[in-house]
Amino acid sequence: MALQLYVDLISQPCRSVYLFVQKNNIPFELKEVQLLAGEQHSEEFRKLNPLGKVPVIKDGDFTLTESVAILKYLACKYKTPDHWYPADLQSRARVDEYLAWQHTTLKPPAGKIFLLQALFPVVTGAPCPKEKMVEAQDELAQALKNFQEKFLQEKLYVAGSKISLADLVATSELMQPLGVGYDPLKGSTTLTAWRDRVKAAVGTDLFDKTHEPILTVMESLKSLSQSQPEALAVIKTSFIKYFK
Protein backbone atom coordinates (compact mmCIF):
# COMPACT_ATOMS: atom_id res chain seq x y z
CA MET A 1 0.00 0.00 0.00
CA ALA A 2 1.31 3.44 -0.92
CA LEU A 3 2.30 5.85 1.78
CA GLN A 4 -0.70 7.92 2.87
CA LEU A 5 -0.22 11.60 3.51
CA TYR A 6 -2.82 13.43 5.60
CA VAL A 7 -2.36 17.13 5.01
CA ASP A 8 -3.91 20.50 4.43
CA LEU A 9 -1.63 22.78 2.45
CA ILE A 10 -2.71 25.85 4.39
CA SER A 11 -0.57 24.33 7.15
CA GLN A 12 3.14 25.09 7.10
CA PRO A 13 4.40 21.72 8.47
CA CYS A 14 2.17 19.96 5.93
CA ARG A 15 3.73 21.92 3.10
CA SER A 16 7.26 20.94 4.07
CA VAL A 17 6.31 17.24 4.06
CA TYR A 18 4.35 17.58 0.82
CA LEU A 19 7.20 19.41 -0.94
CA PHE A 20 9.64 16.77 0.25
CA VAL A 21 7.69 13.78 -1.06
CA GLN A 22 6.91 15.49 -4.35
CA LYS A 23 10.46 16.67 -4.93
CA ASN A 24 11.84 13.21 -4.17
CA ASN A 25 9.25 11.32 -6.23
CA ILE A 26 8.13 9.32 -3.21
CA PRO A 27 4.88 7.58 -4.18
CA PHE A 28 2.00 8.62 -1.95
CA GLU A 29 -1.74 8.81 -1.68
CA LEU A 30 -3.01 12.25 -0.77
CA LYS A 31 -5.58 12.37 2.02
CA GLU A 32 -6.81 15.91 2.41
CA VAL A 33 -7.88 16.99 5.88
CA GLN A 34 -9.61 20.34 5.58
CA LEU A 35 -8.73 22.23 8.72
CA LEU A 36 -11.17 25.08 8.08
CA ALA A 37 -13.96 22.52 7.82
CA GLY A 38 -12.91 20.99 11.15
CA GLU A 39 -12.04 17.61 9.63
CA GLN A 40 -9.14 17.25 12.06
CA HIS A 41 -11.74 16.66 14.79
CA SER A 42 -13.55 13.84 13.03
CA GLU A 43 -13.64 10.48 14.77
CA GLU A 44 -11.87 8.88 11.81
CA PHE A 45 -8.98 11.36 11.89
CA ARG A 46 -8.68 11.26 15.68
CA LYS A 47 -7.96 7.54 15.40
CA LEU A 48 -4.83 8.51 13.46
CA ASN A 49 -3.88 11.46 15.61
CA PRO A 50 -5.79 11.92 18.87
CA LEU A 51 -4.27 15.41 19.06
CA GLY A 52 -6.23 16.45 15.96
CA LYS A 53 -3.24 17.89 14.09
CA VAL A 54 -1.81 17.51 10.62
CA PRO A 55 0.47 16.33 9.06
CA VAL A 56 0.17 12.60 9.63
CA ILE A 57 1.56 9.78 7.53
CA LYS A 58 0.44 6.19 7.42
CA ASP A 59 2.99 3.74 6.08
CA GLY A 60 1.24 0.37 6.18
CA ASP A 61 0.41 -0.21 9.83
CA PHE A 62 2.77 2.52 10.98
CA THR A 63 1.28 5.93 11.76
CA LEU A 64 3.51 8.92 12.40
CA THR A 65 2.79 12.53 13.38
CA GLU A 66 5.05 15.60 13.74
CA SER A 67 6.47 17.00 10.53
CA VAL A 68 10.11 16.90 11.61
CA ALA A 69 9.88 13.23 12.62
CA ILE A 70 8.03 12.49 9.37
CA LEU A 71 10.64 14.24 7.22
CA LYS A 72 13.52 12.37 8.85
CA TYR A 73 11.68 9.05 8.59
CA LEU A 74 11.01 9.57 4.89
CA ALA A 75 14.55 10.77 4.15
CA CYS A 76 15.97 7.62 5.75
CA LYS A 77 13.39 5.17 4.46
CA TYR A 78 13.57 6.35 0.84
CA LYS A 79 17.31 7.11 0.94
CA THR A 80 16.73 10.52 -0.60
CA PRO A 81 19.77 12.48 -1.87
CA ASP A 82 22.22 12.94 0.96
CA HIS A 83 22.01 16.74 1.10
CA TRP A 84 18.46 16.64 2.51
CA TYR A 85 19.54 14.91 5.72
CA PRO A 86 23.27 14.18 5.47
CA ALA A 87 24.76 10.91 6.66
CA ASP A 88 27.86 12.73 7.90
CA LEU A 89 27.30 13.11 11.64
CA GLN A 90 28.31 16.74 11.94
CA SER A 91 26.44 17.87 8.82
CA ARG A 92 23.35 16.04 10.06
CA ALA A 93 23.72 17.66 13.46
CA ARG A 94 23.72 21.06 11.72
CA VAL A 95 20.34 20.26 10.18
CA ASP A 96 19.03 18.89 13.50
CA GLU A 97 20.29 21.99 15.27
CA TYR A 98 18.04 24.23 13.19
CA LEU A 99 15.09 21.83 13.37
CA ALA A 100 15.34 21.80 17.17
CA TRP A 101 15.70 25.58 17.39
CA GLN A 102 12.82 26.59 15.14
CA HIS A 103 10.02 25.00 17.20
CA THR A 104 10.18 27.60 19.96
CA THR A 105 11.60 30.60 18.13
CA LEU A 106 10.77 31.18 14.49
CA LYS A 107 7.64 29.03 14.23
CA PRO A 108 5.44 30.57 16.97
CA PRO A 109 5.47 34.21 15.77
CA ALA A 110 5.20 33.29 12.06
CA GLY A 111 2.13 31.18 12.83
CA LYS A 112 0.76 33.84 15.18
CA ILE A 113 0.80 36.55 12.50
CA PHE A 114 -1.28 34.33 10.27
CA LEU A 115 -3.69 33.28 13.02
CA LEU A 116 -4.19 36.82 14.29
CA GLN A 117 -4.87 38.33 10.90
CA ALA A 118 -6.85 35.52 9.27
CA LEU A 119 -8.67 33.75 12.09
CA PHE A 120 -8.86 36.10 15.09
CA PRO A 121 -11.64 38.21 13.47
CA VAL A 122 -13.61 35.09 12.51
CA VAL A 123 -13.30 33.54 15.95
CA THR A 124 -13.87 36.63 18.10
CA GLY A 125 -15.87 38.89 15.79
CA ALA A 126 -13.35 41.71 16.44
CA PRO A 127 -10.34 42.88 14.40
CA CYS A 128 -6.94 41.78 15.59
CA PRO A 129 -5.58 44.14 18.28
CA LYS A 130 -2.74 46.14 16.73
CA GLU A 131 -0.39 45.66 19.69
CA LYS A 132 -0.68 41.87 19.45
CA MET A 133 0.26 41.98 15.80
CA VAL A 134 3.20 44.32 16.40
CA GLU A 135 4.40 42.04 19.20
CA ALA A 136 4.31 38.98 16.90
CA GLN A 137 6.07 40.89 14.09
CA ASP A 138 8.81 42.06 16.47
CA GLU A 139 9.25 38.53 17.80
CA LEU A 140 9.58 37.18 14.27
CA ALA A 141 12.05 39.93 13.29
CA GLN A 142 14.25 38.97 16.27
CA ALA A 143 14.02 35.27 15.37
CA LEU A 144 14.97 36.06 11.77
CA LYS A 145 17.96 38.09 12.93
CA ASN A 146 19.10 35.09 14.96
CA PHE A 147 18.36 32.77 12.04
CA GLN A 148 20.57 34.77 9.73
CA GLU A 149 23.43 35.39 12.17
CA LYS A 150 23.58 31.99 13.81
CA PHE A 151 22.21 29.54 11.24
CA LEU A 152 22.41 30.85 7.69
CA GLN A 153 25.47 33.08 8.14
CA GLU A 154 27.26 33.62 4.81
CA LYS A 155 26.27 30.20 3.48
CA LEU A 156 23.91 29.45 0.61
CA TYR A 157 21.79 27.19 2.79
CA VAL A 158 21.57 26.37 6.50
CA ALA A 159 23.78 23.27 6.23
CA GLY A 160 26.22 24.65 3.65
CA SER A 161 26.14 24.72 -0.11
CA LYS A 162 23.11 22.46 -0.60
CA ILE A 163 19.48 22.55 0.43
CA SER A 164 18.45 20.42 3.42
CA LEU A 165 15.37 19.69 5.51
CA ALA A 166 16.22 22.79 7.54
CA ASP A 167 15.71 25.14 4.58
CA LEU A 168 12.52 23.38 3.57
CA VAL A 169 11.00 23.67 7.05
CA ALA A 170 12.12 27.29 7.42
CA THR A 171 10.76 28.52 4.08
CA SER A 172 7.43 26.70 4.48
CA GLU A 173 7.06 28.45 7.81
CA LEU A 174 8.05 31.86 6.51
CA MET A 175 5.49 31.69 3.70
CA GLN A 176 2.69 31.52 6.30
CA PRO A 177 2.55 35.28 7.08
CA LEU A 178 2.55 35.99 3.34
CA GLY A 179 -0.92 34.44 3.29
CA VAL A 180 -2.11 37.51 5.18
CA GLY A 181 -0.01 39.93 3.12
CA TYR A 182 2.97 40.25 5.47
CA ASP A 183 6.37 39.37 4.07
CA PRO A 184 8.77 38.95 6.99
CA LEU A 185 11.77 38.87 4.64
CA LYS A 186 10.98 42.20 3.00
CA GLY A 187 13.93 44.50 3.43
CA SER A 188 16.48 41.69 3.73
CA THR A 189 18.25 41.01 0.47
CA THR A 190 20.18 38.13 2.06
CA LEU A 191 17.08 36.31 3.29
CA THR A 192 15.06 37.05 0.17
CA ALA A 193 17.89 35.65 -1.97
CA TRP A 194 18.02 32.56 0.27
CA ARG A 195 14.24 32.01 -0.11
CA ASP A 196 14.59 32.39 -3.90
CA ARG A 197 17.38 29.80 -3.88
CA VAL A 198 15.23 27.37 -1.91
CA LYS A 199 12.36 27.94 -4.31
CA ALA A 200 14.61 27.31 -7.32
CA ALA A 201 16.12 24.19 -5.71
CA VAL A 202 12.67 22.76 -4.99
CA GLY A 203 11.35 23.82 -8.39
CA THR A 204 9.39 27.03 -8.91
CA ASP A 205 6.24 25.31 -10.17
CA LEU A 206 6.09 22.84 -7.31
CA PHE A 207 6.88 25.55 -4.76
CA ASP A 208 4.22 27.91 -6.12
CA LYS A 209 1.51 25.25 -6.46
CA THR A 210 2.15 24.01 -2.94
CA HIS A 211 1.85 27.51 -1.52
CA GLU A 212 -1.21 28.53 -3.51
CA PRO A 213 -3.72 27.50 -0.79
CA ILE A 214 -2.03 29.68 1.84
CA LEU A 215 -1.54 32.60 -0.54
CA THR A 216 -5.26 32.56 -1.37
CA VAL A 217 -6.54 31.72 2.12
CA MET A 218 -8.11 35.12 2.71
CA GLU A 219 -10.23 34.74 -0.44
CA SER A 220 -11.18 31.21 0.66
CA LEU A 221 -12.29 32.53 4.04
CA LYS A 222 -14.27 35.32 2.42
CA SER A 223 -16.10 33.05 0.01
CA LEU A 224 -16.74 30.57 2.84
CA SER A 225 -18.39 33.27 4.92
CA GLN A 226 -20.56 34.30 1.97
CA SER A 227 -21.54 30.86 0.69
CA GLN A 228 -21.54 28.81 3.90
CA PRO A 229 -21.90 31.03 6.96
CA GLU A 230 -22.39 27.90 9.08
CA ALA A 231 -18.76 26.99 8.28
CA LEU A 232 -17.65 29.96 10.37
CA ALA A 233 -19.11 28.32 13.47
CA VAL A 234 -16.87 25.30 12.83
CA ILE A 235 -13.83 27.57 12.49
CA LYS A 236 -14.74 29.30 15.75
CA THR A 237 -15.00 26.02 17.63
CA SER A 238 -11.80 24.63 16.11
CA PHE A 239 -9.55 27.63 16.55
CA ILE A 240 -10.75 29.40 19.70
CA LYS A 241 -8.01 27.54 21.60
CA TYR A 242 -5.41 29.72 19.89
CA PHE A 243 -6.87 32.94 21.31
CA LYS A 244 -7.56 32.06 24.94
Ligand X SMILES: N[C@@H](CCC(=O)N[C@@H](CS)C(=O)NCC(=O)O)C(=O)O
Residues that bind ligand X (CB under 6 A): 11-13, 35, 40, 52-55, 66-68, 238
Supply the minimum distance, in Å, between the C-beta of residue 55 and ligand X: 6
Cβ–Cβ under 8 Å, residues 147 and 109:
no
What lies within 8 Å, CB to CB, of 16 at 6+ separation is 67, 71, 165, 168, 169, 172, 173
In this structure, the number of other CB atoms found within 10 A of the CB of residue 88 comes to 10
Supply the minimum distance, in Å, between the C-beta of residue 187 and ligand X: 26
Residue 35 or residue 217: which is nearer to ligand X going by CB?
35
What whole-number distance in Å separates Cα of residue 66 and Cα of residue 53? 9
Supply the minimum distance, in Å, between the C-beta of residue 35 and ligand X: 5
What whole-number distance in Å separates Cα of residue 12 and Cα of residue 170? 9
Supply the minimum distance, in Å, between the C-beta of residue 12 and ligand X: 6
Residue 104 or residue 226: which is nearer to ligand X going by CB?
104
In this structure, the number of other CB atoms found within 10 A of the CB of residue 168 comes to 24
What whole-number distance in Å separates Cα of residue 41 and Cα of residue 45? 7
Supply the minimum distance, in Å, between the C-beta of residue 200 and ligand X: 25
What whole-number distance in Å separates Cα of residue 57 and Cα of residue 20? 13
Residue 153 or residue 237: which is nearer to ligand X going by CB?
237
Supply the minimum distance, in Å, between the C-beta of residue 68 and ligand X: 6
Residue 45 or residue 151: which is nearer to ligand X going by CB?
45
H helices, E strands: number in the chain:
12, 4
Residue 11 or residue 210: which is nearer to ligand X going by CB?
11
What lies within 8 Å, CB to CB, of 217 at 6+ separation is 10, 118, 179, 180
Residue 185 or residue 234: which is nearer to ligand X going by CB?
234
